[in-house]
Amino acid sequence: MASPNHMRAVSYKPATGLHLVSEKDTCREENTPGWAPEYSDARAVQMHMESLGPISTAGIPAGDKVKFSDKINKAYHPAQAILSAPPILASRPKQLSAAELHQLYAGTSVPAHRYLAALLNTAVNSPAIALDPSKWLAGISEINLSDVVEAWLNTNRNTSYEQLNNIGLDANTSRLTGVLTVKQRSGYAGGPMTAGSREFVVFWADWGSGFQYEGTTSVTVHDFSSLPAAGLEYKVFLPVNVLAHARSGSKGAKTVKVRAVLSWNTPPSTNDPCAPVVWGNSLDGVILIPPGINVSSGVRSRSKFAPAGSCLRVTS
């Protein structure tokens, strides 16, 4: 029996145990009831298969090529027989321009010195931009640039949009950690389909001679149409070499002063732990460095002060 479109099409028959498929690419066709032929017995199926002619076979050694005689004149590597979909290339999220940010937040409560903060910071550090701000503010004509700059300069440690709430040390992974809260639904340079913005956190530690810069980490944030009443919490972490500052078990644990500085969309200073930030805040705390493990005469013994799971080791 032929299908309505005169293509060979078949179905599964329990009596024969055979699956027969259409010559069409059935992956692209919906299985429609009514056009698959019905074979009354196994002999009919056998006669149909014989009409297709013999199909030569060949062994396929690993990594070798195989040629299907009389059916395919072209030699294929076995790997080429595997059908694969074309790769899906991920596109980079779009970074909104000043004009696009202005359009996005026009008529909202997000002030211009908020969504243009990164550009304002760039202008301050770029004489070329500062001399001709119209080039980087192209497409924005209805704002008073002087007022925006003045508002930005007079904003210091504003936590109405984000705030660093706590800092600590994960001794098991040797990482300084911090938890910050995003408080607003908008004001973060775009939604999830854009590049959004970054919350930067820089860590400082006083190992005994004043604060030393340990490093900067960050997390990406976006605008969201809905937000829990308590906001969204994000955790940041920074690996540190705690082992270098741990004492031997016989001397016990030690405490270290730590400072973390949060700054939205602009990395904080890496030279001054007291440098001001526009959007964000700083937080001081004390962390506990657990003692290491005493190693003496080739015999390792755990100090009674060392917590289970500690990976800190020092030589006494």
pLDDT at 14: 53
User: Which class is domain 162-301?
Assistant: mainly beta
pLDDT at 124: 76
- Give the integer Cα–Cα distance in Å for 67 and 75: 5
- Give the integer Cα–Cα distance in Å for 316 and 311: 16
pLDDT at 308: 34
10-residue mean pLDDT profile of the chain (316 residues): values are 45 49 42 41 56 56 53 55 65 89 94 92 74 69 82 95 96 94 98 96 95 97 95 96 82 91 96 96 94 52 34 31
Residue ranges covered by each domain of the chain: 1-55, 98-153, 162-301
pLDDT at 268: 95
For the stretch 189-192, contacts whose Cβ atoms lie closer than 8 Å and that sit 24 or more positions apart, written own/partner, are: 189/96, 189/101, 189/115, 189/118, 189/222, 189/223, 189/265, 190/94, 190/96, 190/101, 190/104, 190/222, 190/223, 191/222, 191/223, 191/224, 192/222, 192/224
pLDDT at 33: 41
- Give the integer Cα–Cα distance in Å for 147 and 111: 11
pLDDT at 78: 58
pLDDT at 31: 36
Mean pLDDT of the chain: 76
Encode pLDDT of 173-224 as tens digits: 999 999 999 999 999 999 999 999 999 999 999 999 999 999 999 999 999 9
pLDDT at 245: 85
Please tell me the pTM assigned to this model.
0.65
Encode pLDDT of 45-72 as tens digits: 565 556 656 655 555 555 555 554 545 5
pLDDT at 184: 97
- Give the integer Cα–Cα distance in Å for 195 and 220: 8
